[in-house]
């Protein structure tokens, strides 16, 4: 199974929707809360090439964007492939 990391903040509805999507797919993920963690926030900005919005989702180290991006990948079947389902 692929490694999934979700950078998130508290009180972020799109972060919650992303987590819900992966739970519904029964895919474990690591959460990194950048709300009050400046080191984690700096890591997020570096890994995404300057993006500051959350959620930012990584699958096997590759940035796949935010919730709407992952949702689009799910609709096309690409998400399943990225997660090792096909």
Give the pLDDT score at 73.
Answer: 98
SS (H, E, C) the chain: CCCEEEEECCCCHHHHHHHHHHHHCCCCCEEEECCCCHHHHHHHHHHCCCCCCCCEEEECCEEEECHHHHHHHHHHCHHHHHCCCC
The end-to-end CA distance of the chain, in Å, is 11
0.85 exceeded by pTM: yes
Domain 4-82 fold is Glutaredoxin (3.40.30)
The predicted structure's pLDDT at residue 83: 96
pLDDT of residue 1: 82
Task: Give the domain ranges of the chain.
Answer: 4-82
Which parts of the chain have pLDDT scores under 70?
85-86
Contact 14, 32 (CB under 8 A): no
């Amino acid at each position: 199974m692929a490694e999934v990391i979700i950078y998130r903040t508290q009180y972020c509805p799109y972060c919650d929707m992303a987590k819900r999507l992966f739970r519904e797919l029964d895919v474990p993920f690591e959460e990194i809360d950048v709300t009050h963690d400046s080191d984690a926030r700096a890591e997020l900005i570096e890994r995404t090439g300057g993006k500051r919005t959350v959620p930012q989702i990584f699958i096997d180290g590759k940035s796949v964007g935010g919730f709407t991006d992952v949702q689009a990948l799910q609709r096309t079947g690409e998400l399943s492939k990225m997660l090792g389902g096909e």
